[in-house]
């Protein structure tokens, strides 16, 4: 009998060691649309029917706050532990300065839903709200609350779903919309190269950023996923692949190269894994075990290893090890390097492989994601591609060796 209990204990330890994400008790079945932690212990999650949840112990316990509204809430941003802005449907903006006991209504009304809010902590502090039909508002914040939001023209009628700031401001939305501002108030449209909706944007560094999205299946329209990356502040965006078609709704990077993306289907029930991680700047994405079939709508990390994801049915997940199993050491991708020459090119391009130890597959994609050609090479140091039939423009060269994927930009003139 003693051996039996020892065996059970050993199995328990194995399961704990292999756990990647743990489901927390949210106390609600309402869909949760966003999560934000101003520090390691204090966090807020918002969602359908005016739901606002708060934790003060790193997610172990959640309490429901009285938001004073029943509309769907889509985004939350914390200036500090007690000062919190929340936005949602029908131009809803609410603010608390006492940790959620009292909420002040700053709503502008109307029919446009607000989808994302961010606050810039310089003096004077300025916040931005984006939403349907290209709607954008900016507002200033004082210790007692926010001023009346002011409409900021964006030049687009597409829905704006996410806004972020690094060295510049970026907003993404419907039909591949990407906007950029370098002066906080004037927004310029960037070329994304995709017709698919973008739901989230994140810049871990001043010049390197990621945008994710996709379209759900509808009628004869097939389900599609899109991941875009830029390394030049948004001038050029190129597509990445996670190996799935499930739309992604949120992206977050803890370092320049380590990031997470979550998503699911429009029905709220995912048909495959819905948390993805990259440790090489998006060249490869690994599917992580989430322990749920519910679609996830938001992901946020309080540190390098501790993160939270929320979604349908009141789902709240937490990881304390960066989403990876403690029983399995993360693989380090081989450091193969590739050079395209000449680049720009017009007739042919030679790919120089500095580690020609394995078979390579080289594919070329245009900026809409269409594969233009694919060719296999056997352990060659130089791989030559004939591109004379291609039209002038920018293309992505995808080089794959086993599980390693490297994307290179190619200009054809």
Predicted confidence (pLDDT) per residue in 37-86, tens digit: 999 999 999 999 999 999 999 999 999 999 999 999 999 999 999 999 99
Q: Say if residue 259 is in the same domain as residue 114.
A: yes
> 325-344 burial by CB neighbour count: b if 16+ within 10 A, else e?
eeeeeeeebeebebebeeee
Give the number of domains in the chain.
2
| Span of 53-57, 115-119, 358-362, 372-376 with lowest mean pLDDT | 358-362
Kindly write down the DSSP assignment for every residue of 191-235, as one continuous string: -----S-EEEEE-SSSS-EEEEEEE--BTTBPPEEEEEEESSTTS
By DSSP bridging, strand 296-301 and strand 307-311 are antiparallel
Q: Say if residue 344 is in the same domain as residue 244.
A: no
Is the pLDDT at 404 greater than 90, yes or no? no
Q: Say if residue 298 is in the same domain as residue 351.
A: no
Distance CA 65, CA 46 (A): 10
Which of 257, 292, 319 is where one domain is finished? 319
The answer to whether residue 364 is domain-embedded is: yes
Q: Say if residue 342 is in the same domain as residue 292.
A: no
Q: Say if residue 349 is in the same domain as residue 302.
A: no
Query: What pLDDT, on the 0 to 100 scale, is given for residue 368?
Result: 61
The answer to whether residue 195 is domain-embedded is: yes
Confidence band for 328, pLDDT divided at 50, 70 and 90: very low
Q: Say if residue 242 is in the same domain as residue 301.
A: yes
Q: Say if residue 213 is in the same domain as residue 288.
A: yes
Residue ranges making up the domain that contains 209: 20-319
User: Which 3 state secondary structure label does DSSP give 129?
Assistant: strand
Average pLDDT, the chain: 86
Which of 319, 350, 365 is where one domain is finished? 319
The tens digit of pLDDT for each residue in 111-120 reads 999 999 998 8
**Average of pLDDT values for 270-285?**
81
We report the CATH number of the domain holding residue 179 as: 2.130.10.10
Distance CA 297, CA 251 (A): 10
The answer to whether residue 192 is domain-embedded is: yes
| Contact call for residues 298 and 162 (beta carbons, < 8 A) | no
Which of 319, 348, 365 is where one domain is finished? 319
Query: What pLDDT, on the 0 to 100 scale, is given for residue 76?
Result: 98
We report the CATH number of the domain holding residue 350 as: 2.60.40.1930
Distance CA 98, CA 241 (A): 43
The tens digit of pLDDT for each residue in 390-399 reads 888 778 888 8
The answer to whether residue 396 is domain-embedded is: yes
Note the Cα 181 to chain centre separation in Å. 20
Residues in contact with 195: Cβ distance below 8 Å, sequence separation at least 6, in sequence order: 175, 176, 368
Distance CA 142, CA 369 (A): 45
Q: What are the φ and ψ backbone dihedral angles of 4, each rounded to 5 degrees?
A: -65, -45
Distance CA 360, CA 380 (A): 8
Q: Say if residue 108 is in the same domain as residue 214.
A: yes
Residues in contact with 337: Cβ distance below 8 Å, sequence separation at least 6, in sequence order: 354, 355
Q: Say if residue 182 is in the same domain as residue 221.
A: yes
The answer to whether residue 329 is domain-embedded is: no
Query: What pLDDT, on the 0 to 100 scale, is given for residue 410?
Result: 84
Q: Say if residue 278 is in the same domain as residue 382.
A: no
Q: Say if residue 242 is in the same domain as residue 133.
A: yes
| Span of 134-138, 218-222, 289-293, 380-384 with lowest mean pLDDT | 218-222
**Average of pLDDT values for 139-157?**
81
Kindly write down the DSSP assignment for every residue of 167-195, as one continuous string: SSEEEEEGGG-EEEESSSS--EEE-----
Q: Say if residue 309 is in the same domain as residue 357.
A: no
- Strand (E) or helix (H) holding 150: strand 150-151
The tens digit of pLDDT for each residue in 221-262 reads 778 899 999 999 999 998 988 877 889 999 999 999 999 999
Kindly report each contact of residues 353-359 with a partner whose C-beta sits within 8 Å and lies 24 or more positions away, as own/partner: 353/380, 353/381, 353/382, 353/383, 353/399, 354/381, 356/380, 356/381, 358/401, 358/402, 359/401
The answer to whether residue 8 is domain-embedded is: no
Query: What pLDDT, on the 0 to 100 scale, is given for residue 134?
Result: 97
Kindly report each contact of residues 95-100 with a partner whose C-beta sits within 8 Å and lies 24 or more positions away, as own/partner: 95/145, 95/146, 97/143, 97/144, 97/145, 99/54, 100/44, 100/52, 100/54, 100/65
The answer to whether residue 59 is domain-embedded is: yes
What pTM value is reported for the model?
0.79
| Span of 94-98, 118-122, 266-270 with lowest mean pLDDT | 266-270
The answer to whether residue 13 is domain-embedded is: no
The tens digit of pLDDT for each residue in 176-209 reads 999 999 988 899 999 998 999 999 999 999 999 9
């Amino acid at each position: 009998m003693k051996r039996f209990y020892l065996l059970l204990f050993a199995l328990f330890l194995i399961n704990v060691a292999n756990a990647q994400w743990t489901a927390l008790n949210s106390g609600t079945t309402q869909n949760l649309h966003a999560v934000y932690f101003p520090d390691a212990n204090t966090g807020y999650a918002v969602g359908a029917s005016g739901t606002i949840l708060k934790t003060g112990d790193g997610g172990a316990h959640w309490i429901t706050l009285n938001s004073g509204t029943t509309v769907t809430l889509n985004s939350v941003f914390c200036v500090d532990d007690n000062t919190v802005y929340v936005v949602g449907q029908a131009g809803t903006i609410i603010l608390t300065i006492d940790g959620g006991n009292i909420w002040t209504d700053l709503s502008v009304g109307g029919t446009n839903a607000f989808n994302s809010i961010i606050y810039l902590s310089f003096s004077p502090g300025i916040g931005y709200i984006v939403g349907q039909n290209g709607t954008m508002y900016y507002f200033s914040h004082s210790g007692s609350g926010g001023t009346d939001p002011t409409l900021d023209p964006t030049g687009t009628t597409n829905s704006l779903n996410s806004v972020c700031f690094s060295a510049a401001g970026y907003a993404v939305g419907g039909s591949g919309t990407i906007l950029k501002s370098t002066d906080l108030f004037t927004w310029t449209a960037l070329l994304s190269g995709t017709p698919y909706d973008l739901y989230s944007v994140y810049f871990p560094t001043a010049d390197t950023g990621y945008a994710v999205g996709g379209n759900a299946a509808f009628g004869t329209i097939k389900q599609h996923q899109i991941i875009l990356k830029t390394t030049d502040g948004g001038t050029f965006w190129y597509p990445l692949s996670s190996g799935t078609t499930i739309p992604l709704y949120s992206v977050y990077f803890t370092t320049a190269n380590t990031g997470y993306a979550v998503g699911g289907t429009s029905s709220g029930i995912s048909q495959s894994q819905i948390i993805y991680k990259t440790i090489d700047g998006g060249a490869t994405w690994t599917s992580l075990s989430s322990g749920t079939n519910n679609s996830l709508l938001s992901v946020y990390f309080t540190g390098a290893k501790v993160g939270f994801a929320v979604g349908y049915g009141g789902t709240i997940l937490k990881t304390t090890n960066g989403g990876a199993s403690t029983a399995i050491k993360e693989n380090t991708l081989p450091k193969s390097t590739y050079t395209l020459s000449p680049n720009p090119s017009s007739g042919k391009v030679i790919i120089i492989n500095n580690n020609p130890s394995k078979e390579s597959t080289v594919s070329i994609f245009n900026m809409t994601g269409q594969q233009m050609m694919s060719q296999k090479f056997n352990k060659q140091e130089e791989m030559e591609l004939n591109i004379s039939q291609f039209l002038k423009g920018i293309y992505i060269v995808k080089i794959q060796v086993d599980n390693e994927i490297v994307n290179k930009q190619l200009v054809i003139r």
